[in-house]
């Protein structure tokens, strides 16, 4: 019988017991940051609070939020809550949208992080008989190290491939019979496309599951990857600031991700007002780390937009679930006053049978926003529709207009003209930002 949970005592704990555990840990965590991080101490003092005011998890709303701007201001050591000599590792964000965020880990922090990733691997059906092929990037990015550690804990044979060199990925995958693939969904789609081009059918590989995350992806993209690779594709979520992948993971029900809420307390807030919203309402996800020693974050605003649900899950886990994030609030495009998430466009494209190779370009010409969508055709589609490209472009533009409420210009482009991603895909080029 396959092992269903990595830490059953926690993963199936009653909601009441979980709340008790969260309260105990939260009270301790607040004291820890107050005593060790002058920045937190000031934030609390400014609100007239001391750790004595925090007696259970319900007191969390008394505390202020923390934002990425705070993390950047405090770079590199300002939020460190333990002596540097207790730390054994850093990981970091790519810093593409500003100053890097550097997160610190003690050995215990790493153990907990790896346990969280191990829960995700077991939930995807992983056991010590699996060959876990990790092609998230290794290095400062948390994807590779996190899943690598989780895979060791489960006892899988771990292939620390890192990203890129797709030829080599495929050779190892075939020769060593990889059974679980860990990478971004866009890279999984690219690996699937390359396998198909090499003449492999889905049943030719030994893969049974994929653990894909680090970027938004739609249900349609999941179905596409599942079909191309002949696997079950599971979602995994996390961010560098709170440790990395494994904050939340999907189970066999594939209907949202269980949050490891013994380590990360989740709230959903209205991004405009900061008001905490009830379960089931869509808003910005806020996390509080309950067990982090070196780099604990209290009420950290992720900017990811999603919904929380306590609906009973058929897998038996009682951990609260988060829906697939639609993307970050700062990934949301405002085009001619309309809110647009790239994932909405992806849904239309895949539903109409196109590949997930697309790129969105936004510009402002004569004071009007323009939306251009480049969609790549497969060689067969390209051959068959050469004479009727315009008709297909119009049809697609109409479907996207129905979804978004604004008209795009669609360009069906030749095979292999859109750059493939080995990590997080770049879906949007916003020229408006470039002129600013």
CB of 63 to ligand DLL, least distance (A): 21
Judged by CB, which is closer to ligand DLL: 283, or 369?
A: 283
Alpha-carbon distance 82 to 244, whole Å?
Answer: 19
CB of 387 to ligand DLL, least distance (A): 39
Alpha-carbon distance 73 to 95, whole Å?
Answer: 14
Alpha-carbon distance 436 to 434, whole Å?
Answer: 6
Q: What does DSSP say about strands 338-340 and 333-335: parallel, antiparallel, or unpaired? A: antiparallel
CB of 427 to ligand DLL, least distance (A): 12
Could you tell me which residues are beta bridge partners of residue 105? 89
Using CB under 6 A, list all residues that contact ligand DLL: 93, 136, 142-143, 213-216, 235-240, 244-245, 302, 304, 324-325, 328
Nearest to 436 by CA among 332, 338, 363, 328: 363
CB of 17 to ligand DLL, least distance (A): 27
CB of 300 to ligand DLL, least distance (A): 10
Judged by CB, which is closer to ligand DLL: 284, or 376?
A: 284
Judged by CB, which is closer to ligand DLL: 230, or 238?
A: 238
In this structure, are residues 153 and 115 in contact, taking their beta carbons and an 8 Å threshold?
A: yes
Judged by CB, which is closer to ligand DLL: 23, or 218?
A: 218
Q: What does DSSP say about strands 368-376 and 333-335: parallel, antiparallel, or unpaired? A: unpaired
Is the torsion defined by CA of 45, 49, 54, 57 positive or negative?
A: negative
CB of 103 to ligand DLL, least distance (A): 9
CB of 435 to ligand DLL, least distance (A): 26
Judged by CB, which is closer to ligand DLL: 68, or 392?
A: 68
Q: What does DSSP say about strands 283-289 and 102-106: parallel, antiparallel, or unpaired? A: unpaired
The residue number with the shortest CB distance to ligand DLL is: 213
CB of 275 to ligand DLL, least distance (A): 21
Judged by CB, which is closer to ligand DLL: 142, or 288?
A: 142
Judged by CB, which is closer to ligand DLL: 192, or 327?
A: 327
CB of 357 to ligand DLL, least distance (A): 19
Long-range (24+ apart) CB contacts under 8 A made by 190-193 are 190/166, 190/420, 190/421, 190/422, 191/135, 191/166, 191/229, 192/225, 192/228, 192/229, 193/228, 193/355, 193/420
CB of 285 to ligand DLL, least distance (A): 8
Judged by CB, which is closer to ligand DLL: 23, or 169?
A: 169
Judged by CB, which is closer to ligand DLL: 34, or 327?
A: 327
Judged by CB, which is closer to ligand DLL: 106, or 186?
A: 186
Judged by CB, which is closer to ligand DLL: 217, or 354?
A: 217
CB of 219 to ligand DLL, least distance (A): 12
Peptide bond into 76 cis (omega under 30): yes
CB of 308 to ligand DLL, least distance (A): 15
In this structure, are residues 270 and 285 in contact, taking their beta carbons and an 8 Å threshold?
A: no
Judged by CB, which is closer to ligand DLL: 54, or 147?
A: 147
Nearest to 339 by CA among 271, 276, 277: 271
Q: What does DSSP say about strands 232-239 and 209-213: parallel, antiparallel, or unpaired? A: parallel
């Amino acid at each position: 019988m396959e092992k269903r949970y990595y830490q059953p005592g926690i993963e199936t704990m009653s909601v009441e017991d979980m709340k008790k555990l969260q309260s105990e840990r939260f009270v301790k965590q607040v004291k820890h940051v107050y005593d060790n991080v002058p920045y937190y101490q000031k934030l609390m003092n400014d609100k007239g609070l001391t750790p004595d005011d925090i007696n259970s998890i319900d007191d969390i709303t008394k505390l202020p939020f923390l934002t990425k701007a705070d993390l950047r201001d405090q770079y590199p050591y300002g939020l460190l809550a333990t002596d540097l000599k207790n730390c054994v590792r850093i990981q970091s964000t790519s810093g593409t949208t500003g100053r890097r965020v550097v997160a610190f880990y003690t050995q215990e922090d790493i153990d907990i992080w790896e346990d969280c990733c191990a829960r995700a691997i077991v939930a995807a059906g992983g056991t010590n008989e699996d060959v876990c092929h990790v092609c998230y990037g290794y290095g400062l990015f948390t994807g590779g190290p996190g899943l690598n550690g989780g895979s060791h804990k489960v006892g899988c044979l771990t292939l620390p491939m890192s990203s890129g060199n797709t030829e080599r990925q495929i050779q190892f995958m075939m020769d060593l019979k990889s059974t679980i693939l860990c990478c971004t969904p866009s890279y999984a789609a690219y690996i699937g496309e390359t396998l198909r081009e090499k003449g492999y059918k889905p049943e030719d590989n030994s893969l049974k599951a994929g653990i894909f995350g680090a970027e938004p992806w739609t249900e349609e993209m999941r179905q596409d990857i599942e079909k191309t690779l002949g696997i079950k594709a599971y979602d995994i979520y996390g961010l560098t600031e709170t440790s990395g992948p494994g904050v939340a993971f999907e189970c066999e029900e594939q209907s949202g991700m269980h949050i490891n809420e013994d380590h990360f307390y989740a709230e959903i807030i209205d991004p405009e007002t900061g008001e905490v919203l009830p379960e089931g309402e869509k808003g910005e996800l806020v996390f509080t780390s309950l067990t982090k020693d070196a780099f604990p974050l209290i009420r950290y605003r992720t900017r990811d937009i999603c919904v929380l649900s306590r609906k009973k899950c058929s897998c038996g886990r009682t951990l609260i679930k988060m829906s697939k994030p639609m993307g970050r609030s700062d990934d949301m495009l405002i085009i001619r006053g309309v809110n647009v998430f790239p994932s909405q466009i992806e849904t239309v494209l895949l539903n109409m049978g196109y590949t997930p190779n697309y790129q969105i370009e936004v510009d402002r010409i004569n004071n009007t926003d323009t939306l251009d969508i480049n969609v790549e055709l497969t060689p067969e589609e390209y051959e068959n529709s050469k004479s009727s490209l315009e008709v297909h472009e119009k049809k697609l533009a109409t479907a996207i207009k129905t979804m978004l409420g604004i008209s795009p210009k669609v360009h069906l482009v030749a095979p292999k003209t859109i750059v493939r991603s080995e990590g997080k895909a770049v879906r949007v080029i916003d020229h408006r930002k470039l002129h600013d």
